[in-house]
């Protein structure tokens, strides 16, 4: 993965050694919710939960911080997962009719007592079995697996198939026990003639082992027949002649009852009484949401307490609520219909497995939905939901941008946590998380890290990114700054925040719906979407900018507050004539004071005109300045004095498209939005996962090759330099505030730098009252406040290659980036060198250049595109610390290119250091979403719902390290609980050790 | 410095390096010699001429009669060099006052090899009788393309340099993926390659005649394209588009440059055989940058067109304006220029009025202090062509509509690296 590909690289061994101590690339952990989950399993003994995905990934979760990941060789959907309870071993069934065995294994044999930390252990595939008959070959589609049952003894696996046969495989080798196979004919023989009526019984829909009597299984066929089968005697004990199409079966704990759920939305309770071979009628049969036609109940669970709890998914009245994704919990008179926003994949309960106990006493219900995981506390009256400590649905509204803040002070951290707690609805409980297997051995995080994500619905979510589990801290909504369609003026309360009202609504309703989960793909107003975020961790000021040209400056407040937000409108077109904006309107600010919850509360709303999407934002809290840019120009605002300092149009006078008005631009914005969403949604299917090579695709491939030979319009690229007519040339791409030398080499002062899409850089000298020579002086407060901040254009640089400016950064006399606001004045970092000449790094999509200051003349450069053919997408200045030498660190420029690789350059020499392949180049949304931390880590979206965390630093990396106490047999798997020998294995999970190699 | 003019010596000195110069201004003749190999710079030559003819405070136009009898102007290092190198047997120089210059006299067949040439200069009878092909002034001339590094490349390969000035003429070609046959130690192998797939009619690439459809692209500005995707190669070419050097394996191998034979009579000692159109010769530049290995031409990457433009506003001026008047005057004038007023003259005027801007290029020499990066920082011979490069900048500025300003023809004074308007 790591290539030193730059030619003409001096191979100084000393330097190479230092590089190895500084840089190392590793994908460490995936944050968020797995994309397109398809299977769920739970190991009640180890308290581990496994989730399989459509792309062939298996993820195991236990206590927060305990995570394992495995990936099947083929990117085929995982249809079922089965744990061998207590053994750190699981079976997965894929859509291609193969079964795979996975184990949590210690790789290292060198691990002899003592420190086990070196023994990297991972989830790996140890065996696989292909059921006879692959899909595609018609004759044997009959042996396609539909359901699996692992007997409690863990030595036999029963596989139900489409053809109605049940096959038995022996574990652990997954070998077929030929003589145990139960074909449908065998069953049909023993059926009464009137039930047989010549039709097939249909596929096996359910296999359930008798809870008390080992070796007896319940087989449910699609047509409705249920057979209690004795595996050892190979004989049908009882037959239950159901007439409704069967969906699922579940035993009652005692084994005296079982429940079947049906296609018509009903469920039946059957008594298992000895003596009677044929059972024609169930004890009871109910269609809970009848009498009108209902959808199927796809899965039902029957758990016993003092009175039974029934949990089932589906069954909604077809006409009125057929499109809802529901799960019903019923106990006595209590009846709740959990109404989810995405499809229910599977669910299980955490309950008492101890045979001695009388009841199941379920404590929690875990529901895997297509887009999130919901856990319901079944012990607390009202069945509230439990906040999940991991698998956070990052994409509850589509992620539009992100921002990372390192080393957050404990003070701010606590205030954020408190603000977050105040937000949590009353329906959450704080009961212990029920899935608590394994133990995280990862050291406590060295520092608190915040990841901020901006969303399409106008929210900014604050995540604790300090450790392996990304957990939500606080959610900020900006929608209440504006009037929106869905926001009745007379009701200031957000209906979601008012549970009482909601409850009232619910009571009148049948079915008794309750909205659960937070995945909400529908945005009220796309203009609310967040585009840029900037947070000052020292002053607790936050700037959030959105799609409709809104820039909101917020401050942290621990108290609830009702106030009116100041609004300031900035015309970025200035006196440019002949321009009419034909895009979306600006959002209407709320005219009345609005209530704001504790947390970040808006102070000022700046509205750019035309209300185009904000493309860049910068905050300098020490100078009370915020800079913001759109495709038309940029502005500078003093939010302390509520004063517009500067507005500058960046549209080119020749830019006919822009002058005509943004009709085309709006179209393209919409189009690009639509495309990017499609891309995000689509690209993940192929994700890290390669296309499945089946016979059909091979044929297609051959056809494609043939077609290629016939040469149908070859792919070609036009060699044209960037044209001036690009209507997006005025887009402001980046800002930089710096206290540096712009006027001359002796006087430094505040400056603002802005870079555009057409390779222009504007540098302004700022007059900030009270700021002199880089230090805030406390002199004459009154007179000072009356003075205004002024901005004077100092320099205008046109990069001749005209590529978009990606980043600007001012370097001090030692070539180090200037510290953040407050860091220097409050002695939080080493003061910048103001004695030697400063320089400015301007990174464009094609070149990296360092210019000397104040006279802007090029000092060093690296022409990435000319040399490598790749273009810069993201740039960050990162401080890399040596993994070996305690206090050695280097400032390094990290570049992510359109090829998805990371190029590292030293500063300010811009000499290439290392190159790493990181993201697939086809993964455009992944590259676009990448965000770097200041210490050499980063995040990028691998699906709409998952961040991949990676580390470029040899020193700083956050990865799962966990131990699991396994109850694993020594030697052969021979059953009987008493013979279980508990062996404790310290399992160091390494999430990204690919199991692919097997 | 490197000029050897010695009036005391006999005029027809046998020193093969000396070129006899006969210069005429009005009715006066002066004779002297210059070094054929190292003729020096035009500027020095110009000063010398003014000195010899005792001309003061006048802009003069220098012309010479070439071997074909055409009166051609000398106004930069390149054509001066060309004039000296092709002078046979002597270099005849004609000096005219700038105001009196009759441009129609320049061009082909303007001077016959007979003694009437002098008459022809003043008398436009000849041109009236036989309409000349009009040739613009040489500062409008510029190189369009050239074949370079003939001596170091295999004969089956061709290294073509395309000069793009501003955006007046697109590069105009397309590339595609394809497969090429390579001879490897394991025999002939099919490998993926990049090929020229289409030429835009009237585009720069087509007009050179040096590139053709199905030519395989091997290198872009010295970097091999093998292993790079079509998009990467596209980006590399675009990034180098101001001075694109592509090494191709022409599909038609019959027109290959045969080494050590004179293709054009221009400059035998140069590795640069001039292209089909454009500038008569780059011989001086080429002679200086005699390639020192495969990376010799890397220096050209640092062509002057690369340098970014910095416009400085006077910051000393106290800014008394209210914050509503925001942008400084400098930027305003730039913004407010209506598109119709875009002729260079207008800009010239305009900028003389609102004059607190400085335009300067990055000083190139500042890039020469980094050890260990020879590919970027070796000294650049092109830098010495300050005059020529200035013109290049001017050209690019004038022709490029993205620049909302342009430099006036006369008002530019070059002060090392800073152009002050």
pLDDT digits (tens, 9 = 90+) for A388-412: 888 888 888 899 999 999 999 999 9
The span from the first CA to the last CA of chain A, in angstroms, equals 18
Are B374 and A8 within 8 A, CB to CB?
yes
Phi, psi of B187 (to 5 degrees): 105, -170
Residue position matching structure tokens 């296609």: A263
From the number of C-beta atoms within 10 Å of its C-beta (0-12, 13-18, 19+), residue A107 rates as middle
Three-state DSSP string of A185-229: HHHHHCCCHHHHCCCCCCCEEEEEECCCCCCEEEEEECCCEEEEE
Element (H, E) at A106: strand A98-106
CB A917 within 8 A of CB A3: yes
Q: Looking at CA atoms only, how far is residue A877 from chain B in angstroms?
A: 21
What percentage of chain B exceeds 70 in pLDDT?
Answer: 48
Q: Which range has highest mean pLDDT (A501-505, A606-610, B258-262, B371-375)?
A: A606-610
pLDDT digits (tens, 9 = 90+) for A505-560: 445 578 888 888 888 877 778 899 999 999 999 999 999 999 999 999 999 999 99
Q: Which range has highest mean pLDDT (A132-141, B147-156, B344-353)?
A: B147-156
List the single residue in A with minimal CA-CA distance to B377: A860
Query: Could you count the other beta carbons within 10 Å of the beta carbon of residue A594?
Result: 20
CB A83 within 8 A of CB A42: yes
Closest CA to A984 of A303, A242, A86, A182: A86
pLDDT digits (tens, 9 = 90+) for A56-66: 999 999 888 88
CA separation for the pair A871, A718 (Å, rounded): 17
Phi, psi of A139 (to 5 degrees): -55, -30
Is residue A718 very low, low, confident or very high in pLDDT (cuts 50, 70, 90)?
A: confident
A965: pLDDT strictly greater than 60: yes
> Torsion over CA of B320, B325, B330 and B334, rounded to 10 degrees?
-170
CA separation for the pair A548, A613 (Å, rounded): 5
pLDDT digits (tens, 9 = 90+) for A8-58: 555 788 999 999 999 999 998 899 999 999 999 999 988 999 999 999 999
> In this complex, is the C-beta atom of B415 within 8 Å of any C-beta atom belonging to chain A?
no
Among B176, B311, B319, the residue with its CB nearest the CB of A715 is B176
Name the CA radius of gyration of chain B, rounded: 24
Q: What is the mean pLDDT of residues B395-417?
A: 35
Interface subset of B 147-206, CB within 8 angstroms of A: 164, 167, 170-178, 197-198, 205
pLDDT digits (tens, 9 = 90+) for A666-701: 445 555 666 666 656 554 444 333 334 444 555 566
pLDDT digits (tens, 9 = 90+) for A313-338: 999 999 989 899 999 999 988 899 99
ipTM exceeding the 0.85 mark: no
Are A653 and B338 within 8 A, CB to CB?
yes
Query: Could you count the other beta carbons within 10 Å of the beta carbon of residue A366?
Result: 20
**Which of the pair, A496 or A219, is modelled with greater confidence?**
A219
Which of A349-358, A684-693, A794-803 has the least mean pLDDT? A684-693
List the single residue in B with minimal CA-CA distance to A571: B324
Tell whether the torsion through CA atoms of B392, B398, B399 and B402 is positive or negative: positive
B193 bridge partner residues: B178
Query: Could you count the other beta carbons within 10 Å of the beta carbon of residue A804?
Result: 24
Q: Looking at CA atoms only, how far is residue B280 from chain A in angstroms?
A: 26
Q: What is the mean pLDDT of residues A240-261?
A: 91
**Which residues on chain A are in Cβ contact (under 8 Å) with B365?**
none
CA separation for the pair B312, B246 (Å, rounded): 36
pLDDT digits (tens, 9 = 90+) for A566-625: 999 999 887 676 677 888 889 999 888 888 989 999 999 999 988 999 999 999 999 999
| Residue A985 per-residue DSSP state | B
pLDDT of residue B112: 44
- As given in the structure block, the two tokens for residue A589 are 């600010």
Which of B402, B405, B417 to probe by mutation at the A interface, max A CB count within 10 Å?
B402
**Which of the pair, A726 or A712, is modelled with greater confidence?**
A726
**Which residues on chain B are in Cβ contact (under 8 Å) with A648?**
326-327, 331
CB A874 within 8 A of CB A922: no
CA separation for the pair A922, A691 (Å, rounded): 14
Is residue A201 very low, low, confident or very high in pLDDT (cuts 50, 70, 90)?
A: confident
CA separation for the pair A890, A883 (Å, rounded): 12
Q: What is the mean pLDDT of residues A428-455?
A: 85
**Which residues on chain A are in Cβ contact (under 8 Å) with B223?**
866-867, 869
A975: pLDDT strictly greater than 60: no
Q: What is the mean pLDDT of residues B127-134?
A: 50
List the single residue in A with minimal CA-CA distance to B311: A796
A766: pLDDT strictly greater than 70: yes
Closest CA to A725 of A660, A663, A647, A635: A660
pLDDT of residue A428: 67
CA separation for the pair A759, A805 (Å, rounded): 5
Closest CA to B166 of B407, B412, B402: B402
pLDDT of residue B105: 63
CB B139 within 8 A of CB B281: no
| Strand-pair category, A120-130 with A988-989 | parallel
Edge-to-edge, what's the strand order for the sheet holding A616-620? A616-620, A625-629, A633-638, A643-649
Are B327 and A743 within 8 A, CB to CB?
no
Among A647, A719, A911, the residue with its CB nearest the CB of B238 is A719
From the number of C-beta atoms within 10 Å of its C-beta (0-12, 13-18, 19+), residue A974 rates as exposed
The alpha helices in A807-937, defined as continuous H runs, are: 864-868, 924-928
* CA neighbours closer than 13 Å in the CB half-sphere of residue B127: 21
Closest CA to A961 of A439, A371, A380, A555: A439
CA separation for the pair A334, A336 (Å, rounded): 7
| Strand-pair category, A216-221 with A373-377 | unpaired
Q: What is the mean pLDDT of residues B184-196?
A: 86
Please count the residue pairs, one from chain A and one from chain B, whose beta carbons lie less than 8 angstroms apart.
205
pTM exceeding the 0.90 threshold for the entire prediction? no
pLDDT of residue A549: 93
CA separation for the pair A536, A555 (Å, rounded): 10
Are A720 and B236 within 8 A, CB to CB?
no
Are B370 and A860 within 8 A, CB to CB?
yes
**Which residues on chain B are in Cβ contact (under 8 Å) with A796?**
310-313, 330-331
CB A338 within 8 A of CB A327: yes
pLDDT of residue A338: 93
Edge-to-edge, what's the strand order for the sheet holding A541-546? A530-536, A541-546, A550-557, A599-609, A566-571
Interface subset of B 312-331, CB within 8 angstroms of A: 312-313, 315-316, 319, 322-324, 326-328, 330-331
CA separation for the pair B319, A874 (Å, rounded): 36
A260: pLDDT strictly greater than 90: yes
pLDDT digits (tens, 9 = 90+) for A618-634: 999 999 999 999 989 99
């Amino acid at each position: 993965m790591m290539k030193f590909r730059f030619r003409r690289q001096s191979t100084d061994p000393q330097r190479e050694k230092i590089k190895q101590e500084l840089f190392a690339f590793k994908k460490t952990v995936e944050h968020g919710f797995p994309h397109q989950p398809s299977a769920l399993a739970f190991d009640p003994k180890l308290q581990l939960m496994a989730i399989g995905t459509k792309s062939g990934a298996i993820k195991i979760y236990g206590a927060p911080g305990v995570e394992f990941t495995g990936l099947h060789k083929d990117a085929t959907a995982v249809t079922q997962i089965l744990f061998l309870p207590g053994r750190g071993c699981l079976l997965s069934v894929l859509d291609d009719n193969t079964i795979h065995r996975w184990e949590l294994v210690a790789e290292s044999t060198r691990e002899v007592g003592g420190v086990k930390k070196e023994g990297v252990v991972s989830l790996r595939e140890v065996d696989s079995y292909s059921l006879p008959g692959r899909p595609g070959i018609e004759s044997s589609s009959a042996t396609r697996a539909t359901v699996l049952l692992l007997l409690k003894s863990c030595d036999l696996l029963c596989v139900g198939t489409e053809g109605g046969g049940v096959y038995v495989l022996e574990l652990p080798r997954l070998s077929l026990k030929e003589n145990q196979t139960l074909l449908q004919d065998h069953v049909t023989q023993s059926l009464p003639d009137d039930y047989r009526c010549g039709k097939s019984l249909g596929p096996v829909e359910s296999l359930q082992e008798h809870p008390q009597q080992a070796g007896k299984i319940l087989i449910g066929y699609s047509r409705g027949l249920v057979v209690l089968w004795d595996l050892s005697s190979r004989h049908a004990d009882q037959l239950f002649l159901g007439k409704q199409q069967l969906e699922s079966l579940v035993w009652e704990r005692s084994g005296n009852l079982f429940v079947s759920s049906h296609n018509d939305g009903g469920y039946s309770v059957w008594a298992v009484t000895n003596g009677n071979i044929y059972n024609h009628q169930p004890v009871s049969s109910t269609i809970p949401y009848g009498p009108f036609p209902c959808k199927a109940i796809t899965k039902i669970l029957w758990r016993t307490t003092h009175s039974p709890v029934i949990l089932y998914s589906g069954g909604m009245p077809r006409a009125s609520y057929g499109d809802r994704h529901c799960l019903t919990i019923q106990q006595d008179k209590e009846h709740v219909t959990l109404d989810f926003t995405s499809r229910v994949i599977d669910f299980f309960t955490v309950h008492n497995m101890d045979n001695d106990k009388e009841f199941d006493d379920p404590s929690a219900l875990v529901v895997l939905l297509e887009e999130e995981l919901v856990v319901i506390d079944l012990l607390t009256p009202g069945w509230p939901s439990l906040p999940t400590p991991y698998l956070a649905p990052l994409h509850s509204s589509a992620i539009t941008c992100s921002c990372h803040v390192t080393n957050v002070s404990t003070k701010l951290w606590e205030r954020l946590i408190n603000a977050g707690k105040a937000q949590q609805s009353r329906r959450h409980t704080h009961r212990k998380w029920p899935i608590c297997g394994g133990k995280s051995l990862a050291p406590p995080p060295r520092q608190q890290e915040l990841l901020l994500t901006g969303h399409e619905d106008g929210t900014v979510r604050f995540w604790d990114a300090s450790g392996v589990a990304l957990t939500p801290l606080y959610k900020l909504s900006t929608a209440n700054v504006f009037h929106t369609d869905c926001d009745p003026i007379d009701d200031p309360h957000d209906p979601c925040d008012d549970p009482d009202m909601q409850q009232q609504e619910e009571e009148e309703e049948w079915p008794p719906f309750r909205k659960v989960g937070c995945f909400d793909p529908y945005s009220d107003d796309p203009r609310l979407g967040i585009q840029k975020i900037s947070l000052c961790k020292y002053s607790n000021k936050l700037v959030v900018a959105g799609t409709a040209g809104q820039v909101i400056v917020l401050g942290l407040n621990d108290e609830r507050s009702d106030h009116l937000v100041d609004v300031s409108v900035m015309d970025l077109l200035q006196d440019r004539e002949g321009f009419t904006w034909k895009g979306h309107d600006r959002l209407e600010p709320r005219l009345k004071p609005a209530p704001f919850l504790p947390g970040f509360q808006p102070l000022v709303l700046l509205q750019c005109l035309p209300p185009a999407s904000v493309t860049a934002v910068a905050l300098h809290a020490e100078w009370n300045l915020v800079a913001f840019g759109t495709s038309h120009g940029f502005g500078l605002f003093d939010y302390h004095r509520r004063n517009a300092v500067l507005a500058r149009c960046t549209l080119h006078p020749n830019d006919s498209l822009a002058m005509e008005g943004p009709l085309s631009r709006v179209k393209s914005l919409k189009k690009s939005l639509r495309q990017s969403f499609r891309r995000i949604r689509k690209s993940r299917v192929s994700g890290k996962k390669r296309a499945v090579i089946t016979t059909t695709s091979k044929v297609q491939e051959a056809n494609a090759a043939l077609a290629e030979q016939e040469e149908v319009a070859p792919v070609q690229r036009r060699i044209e330099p960037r044209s001036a007519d690009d209507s997006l040339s005025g887009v402001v791409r980046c800002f930089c505030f710096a206290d540096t030398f712009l006027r001359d080499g002796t006087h430094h002062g505040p400056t603002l730098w802005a870079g555009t899409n057409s390779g222009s850089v504007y540098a302004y000298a700022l007059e900030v009252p009270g700021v002199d020579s880089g230090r805030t002086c406390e002199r004459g407060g009154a007179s000072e406040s009356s003075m205004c901040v002024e901005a004077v254009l100092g320099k205008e640089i046109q990069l001749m290659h005209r590529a978009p400016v990606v980043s600007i950064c001012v370097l001090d006399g030692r070539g180090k980036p200037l510290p953040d606001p407050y860091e220097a004045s409050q002695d939080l970092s080493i003061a910048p060198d103001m004695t030697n000449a400063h320089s400015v790094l301007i990174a464009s999509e094609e070149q990296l250049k360092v210019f000397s200051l104040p006279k802007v003349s090029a000092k060093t450069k690296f022409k990435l595109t000319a040399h490598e053919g790749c273009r810069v997408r993201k740039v960050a200045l990162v401080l890399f610390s040596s993994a070996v030498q305690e206090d050695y660190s280097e400032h390094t420029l990290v570049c992510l290119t359109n090829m998805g690789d990371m190029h590292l350059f030293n500063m300010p020499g811009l000499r290439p250091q290392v190159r790493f392949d990181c993201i697939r180049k086809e993964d455009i949304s992944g590259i676009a979403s990448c965000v770097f931390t200041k210490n050499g880590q980063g995040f990028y979206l691998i699906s709409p719902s998952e961040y991949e965390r990676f580390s470029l630093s040899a020193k700083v990396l956050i990865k799962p390290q966990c131990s699991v106490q396994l109850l694993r047999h020594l030697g052969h798997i021979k059953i009987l609980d008493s013979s279980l020998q508990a062996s404790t294995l310290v399992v160091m999970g390494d999430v990204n050790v690919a199991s692919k190699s097997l | 410095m490197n000029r050897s003019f010695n009036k005391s010596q006999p005029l027809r000195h046998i020193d093969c390096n000396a070129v006899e110069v006969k210069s005429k201004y009005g009715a006066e003749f002066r004779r002297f010699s210059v070094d054929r190999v190292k003729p020096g710079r035009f500027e020095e030559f110009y000063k010398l001429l003014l000195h010899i003819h005792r001309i003061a405070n006048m802009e003069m136009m220098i012309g010479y009669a070439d071997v074909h009898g055409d009166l051609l102007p000398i106004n930069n290092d390149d054509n001066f060099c060309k004039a000296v190198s092709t002078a046979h047997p002597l270099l005849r120089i004609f000096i005219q006052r700038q105001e009196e210059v009759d441009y129609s006299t320049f061009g082909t067949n303007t001077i016959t090899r007979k003694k009437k040439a002098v008459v022809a200069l003043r008398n436009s009878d000849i041109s009236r009788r036989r309409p000349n092909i009009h040739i613009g002034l040489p500062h409008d001339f510029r190189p369009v393309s050239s074949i370079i590094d003939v001596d170091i490349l295999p004969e089956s390969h061709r290294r073509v340099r395309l000069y793009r000035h501003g955006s007046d003429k697109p590069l105009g070609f397309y590339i595609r993926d394809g497969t090429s046959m390579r001879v490897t130690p394991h025999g002939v192998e099919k490998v993926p390659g990049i090929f020229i797939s289409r030429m835009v009619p009237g585009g720069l690439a087509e007009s050179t005649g040096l590139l053709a459809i199905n030519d395989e692209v091997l290198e872009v500005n010295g970097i091999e394209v093998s292993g790079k995707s079509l998009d990467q190669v596209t980006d590399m070419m675009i990034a180098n588009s101001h001075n694109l050097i592509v090494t191709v394996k022409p599909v038609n191998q019959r027109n290959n440059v045969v080494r050590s034979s004179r293709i054009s009579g221009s400059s035998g000692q140069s590795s640069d055989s001039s292209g089909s159109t454009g500038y008569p010769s780059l011989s001086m530049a080429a002679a200086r940058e005699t390639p020192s290995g495969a990376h010799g031409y890397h220096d050209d990457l640092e062509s002057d067109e690369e340098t970014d433009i910095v416009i400085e506003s006077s910051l000393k001026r106290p800014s008394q304006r209210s914050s509503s008047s925001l942008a400084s005057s400098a930027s305003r004038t730039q913004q407010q220029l209506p598109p119709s007023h875009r002729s260079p003259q207008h800009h010239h005027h305009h900028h003389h009025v609102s004059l607190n801007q400085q335009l300067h290029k990055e000083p190139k020499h500042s890039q020469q202090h980094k050890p260990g990066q020879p590919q970027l920082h070796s000294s650049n011979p092109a830098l010495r062509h300050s005059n020529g490069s200035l013109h290049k900048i001017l050209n690019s500025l004038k022709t490029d509509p993205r620049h909302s300003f342009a430099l006036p023809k006369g008002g530019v004074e070059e002060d090392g690296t800073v152009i002050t308007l």
